Amino acid sequence: MSEKQSGAPLRVVAALSGGVDSAVAAARAVAAGHEVTGVHLALSRSAETQRTGARGCCTLEDSRDARRVADVLGIPYYIWDLSEQFQEQVIDDFLQEYAAGRTPNPCVRCNETIKFAAVLERAVALGFDALVTGHYARISQAPDGTACISRAVDPAKDQSYVLGVLTPDQVARSIFPLGDSTKSQVRKEAEQRGLLVADKPDSHDVCFIPDGDTAGFLRGHLGEQPGAVLDTEGRTVGTHDGAFAFTVGQRRGLALSEPAADGRPRFVLSIEPVSSTVVVGPHEMLSVDAIELTNGPTWRIGEDLRVRVQWRAHGEAVPAQVVLTHEGRVDEVLLDESAHGVAAGQELVAYDGERGERVIFSARIAGSRRRSR
């Protein structure tokens, strides 16, 4: 928490998803003396009644679990319908990105446009001071004194990557009570507090595709767009119903009609949505050491150009060098070592170079390449 957040009690909105993390986060906010109001976000226009184990979220079952948590904590509880914004800002963006041959991260988009934009904006308009969520992350200070995201204590649950897109103002109005805890500690605390969600499975996969069939979801919304799967020599080695069902680096589900001459597995190297063409080849052809960015920030004067970068939520942050335009904007990062499976549309998050704990910036990947040496 920031200095302000750790001082006098605040009026806060606690986002209650219906899961154990948000429940304990809200409980800790209450215990800290804040005036807490629980809010569940209705993001689906046709929410399912029940979850299927750990698949999906924002169901009617989740909203009921959130209400029970609020009752146990003795806090007011409301449901905010943001389904229209979620459809436009997250689901439509997801479809448009895949249709363009890119691989989006809907969790990043949701945090950017819904949870820490629409929700926080509404909360502030209603007179609240901050938003409490169950994310595993910590808040620290950048060298210029602004609030920024840092990694959680539990590396297995760290969510700094999906929060890296937040602005300093949004971070300053956020509270992440779980940043210093492990998942096992959170579940134990939930049980001790009498919260019935203590053993509830974590949700995973894309929340609006609860059955996990991303290709089927895309096909249902974008329609079949048959095309060819080519090898690096331009030979047809398979067919498909839509290039949108593939992502760079993919190995499984290619359904190739002709095996490689050397018998080795092949991976998706590139996707061309206009011609609906997918190119496959050996793993080594995925190797890149330069990542181009499409919306990089202006670099702070005096900031070290050495960083660690991460482009998957649970990937490893690797050493890199920032490349700036003449105007001082981040244009590209050069990796110290080669990487594989970097896809356009993914989010790249840069951390401070020495320890890789503090988020410096987040930008969308425009492409990647292999530098000539």
Residues annotated as catalytic (active site), given as ranges? 110, 207
Q: Tokens standing for 370? A: 């292999």
- DSSP secondary structure string, 193-232? TT-TTTTPPPPBS-TT-TT--HHHHHHHHH----EEEE-T
Distances (CA, A) of 21 to 168, 196, 216, 322, 356: 23, 12, 30, 35, 25
H helices within the chain, ranges in order? 20-31, 60-73, 83-86, 92-99, 106-110, 119-125, 160-163, 168-172, 183-192, 214-222
- Residues 29 and 292: their CA atoms lie apart, in Å, by 40
Where are any strands of DSSP class E within the chain? 11-15, 35-42, 77-81, 130-132, 138-141, 147-150, 174-175, 227-230, 236-240, 267-272, 277-281, 288-293, 306-310, 318-324, 330-339, 347-352, 359-369
